[in-house]
Amino acid sequence: MGFLRVMMPPKFQLLALLAFGVAMLLIENQIQKLEESRASLERTIARHEVAEVEQRHSEDSGRDPSSLSDREDMVIIYNRVPKTASTSFTNIAYDLCGKNRFHVLHINTTKNNPVMSLQDQVRFVRNVTSWREMKPGFYHGHVAYLDFSKYGVKGKPMYINVVRDPIERLVSYYYFLRFGDDYRPGLRRRKQGDRKTFDECVSSGGSDCAPEKLWLQIPFFCGHHSECWNVGSRWALEQAKYNLVNEYLLVGVTEELEDFIMILEAALPRFFKGATELYRTGKKSHLRKTTEKKPPTKETIAKLQQSNIWKIENEFYEFALEQFQFVRAHAVREKDGELYVLAQSFFYEKIYPKVN
C-alpha cells in the first residue's frame, strides 16, 4: 500500500480510498441483511417447533389446541371511578361485545354504594368465577376493588381502570349532579336547579366541593378495608398504589384515553379487537360530555391544592400517570404524528427435546 501511495497521483489515491469505503459499506450492508435473514429464519423455525410441541401435547392430552378454555374463561372487571370517562369507555365494550363474542354485565349496587356487604362479596365472587354462561365476561360498575384470593376460589379476574386529575374529576362530578350530560339529557339529576358555579361553591365553603369530596380514586383502588375510606389516610394511599401495580393489568388516564384503548386492544384482542378504530372513526356515540361545565379559576384550584387530601389524591394520580406512561413507552411508538403498537419482540429458540 505504501508503494501504491508513492506511484499513484493524489487524485487517484482519493478515488481508491472512496471506492474502498463504498465497498466496505456494501459489505456491511450485506452482512446486516444476512443477520436479519438468519434471525427471521430462527424465529420461523422456533414458531414451527413451538407449534409442533403444542400439537404433540394436545394429542397426548386429547385436547384440541383451538379450543383452549383459558381464552373463553377470561373475566375482566372494570371497577370504574365516577367521572373518569368511564361511560365513554364502557360503551365501546357494548359496541364490540356482539362482534367479538363476549358478555358485558353492569354491576348495579344499591344507591351506587361502592362498598359491598360481606355476604354480597361472597355472592359476587361466586358469580364471577362460576357463571360459565357469562364467560368470557366484562363486568363494570362503581365498586371498590375486591381481592378474589381471600375467598378460596380458583382463578382471579383481570382488573382494569382509568383515573383522572382529582380536581378535574370533582368539577365534572359537581356539574354532572346539577346539569347531567348529553348521554341522557332528559334525566332529572339530584342537584338539578342549583345553578351555583363550582367557584362560588368553593368560595362559600359548600359541602359539594369540599376537599373531602376529592377522596374517591384512592379508596376505589384500596378496596374493602375500613381504613381505605378514612379520608386522608396514607395507609390507604400505599395500599392503592400496591393494588394498582400488582392487581391491575392496566390503568389508564382520562386525558390519554385513546392510548389506553390502543394498548388494551394489543394486549387483549379477544375483547378489544377493533376498539381503537371504533374510538377514532366511529359515530362517537360512546362519547359523553357533562353539560354546562365551567372551568374553575386559578384561585379556586389554588385553594383546593392547599388541602392535604388533594395532595394525597394527587400523589396517587401522578403515580398512576407515571406507571401508565411507562407501560405506553414500552408498548407503542410514534411515527409521523401517529401512534402504532409495537410488534412482538421476543421468540423461543433452542427447544428440546426435538420433535421427531
Whether 228 is in a domain gets the answer yes
The grid coordinates of residue 83 equal: 367521572
Rounded Cα distance, 279 and 91, in Å: 10
Task: Note the pLDDT of residue 202.
Answer: 96
- Beta strand 332-335 pairing with 338-341: antiparallel
Task: Note the pLDDT of residue 47.
Answer: 64
Whether 321 is in a domain gets the answer yes
The grid coordinates of residue 12 equal: 487517484
CB 233 within 8 A of CB 313: no
Q: How far is CA 136 from CA 71, 122, 265, in A?
A: 8, 20, 16
Spell 30-61 as b/e; 16+ CB within 10 A means b: eeeeeeeeeeeeeeeeeeebeeeeeeeeeeee
The grid coordinates of residue 339 equal: 401512534
H helical segments located in the chain:
2-7, 10-61, 69-72, 86-100, 118-130, 166-179, 198-204, 217-222, 234-247, 257-267, 269-272, 275-281, 298-305, 308-329
Whether 304 is in a domain gets the answer yes
Task: Note the pLDDT of residue 187.
Answer: 47
Task: Note the pLDDT of residue 290.
Answer: 59
Which of 109, 113, 107, 102 is closest to 127 using CA atoms? 107
Q: Any idea which residues carry the catalytic annotation?
A: 140, 142
Whether 20 is in a domain gets the answer no
Whether 300 is in a domain gets the answer yes
Spell 129-155 as b/e; 16+ CB within 10 A means b: beeeebbbbbbbbbbbbbebeeeeeee
Which CATH number fits the domain that encloses residue 179?
3.40.50.300
Task: Note the pLDDT of residue 7.
Answer: 61
Rounded Cα distance, 59 and 81, in Å: 46
* Counted domains in the chain: 1
Instruction: Give residue-wise pLDDT tens across range 54-112.
Output: 565 555 555 444 443 567 899 999 999 999 999 999 999 999 999 999 999 999 999 88
The amino acid present at 99, given as its one-letter code, is K
Rounded Cα distance, 82 and 254, in Å: 11
Whether 61 is in a domain gets the answer no
CB 136 within 8 A of CB 271: yes
Rounded Cα distance, 338 and 201, in Å: 41
Whether 308 is in a domain gets the answer yes
Task: Note the pLDDT of residue 190.
Answer: 55
pLDDT in tens, the chain (356 residues): 554 455 667 767 777 778 887 888 888 888 878 877 776 776 666 666 556 655 655 555 554 444 435 678 999 999 999 999 999 999 999 999 999 999 999 999 998 899 999 999 999 999 999 999 999 999 999 999 999 999 999 889 999 999 999 999 999 999 988 876 555 554 444 555 577 999 999 999 999 999 999 999 999 999 999 999 999 999 999 999 999 999 999 999 999 999 999 999 999 999 999 999 999 887 654 455 555 678 999 999 999 999 999 999 999 999 999 999 999 999 988 777 777 888 888 888 888 888 76
Instruction: Give residue-wise pLDDT tens across range 202-215.
Output: 999 999 999 999 99
Task: Note the pLDDT of residue 333.
Answer: 85
- Please give the backbone phi and psi of residue 138, each rounded to the nearest 5 degrees, phi first: -120, 105
- The range of the structural domain enclosing residue 196 comes to 72-341
Whether 191 is in a domain gets the answer yes
Tell me, yes or no, if the pTM score tops 0.85.
no
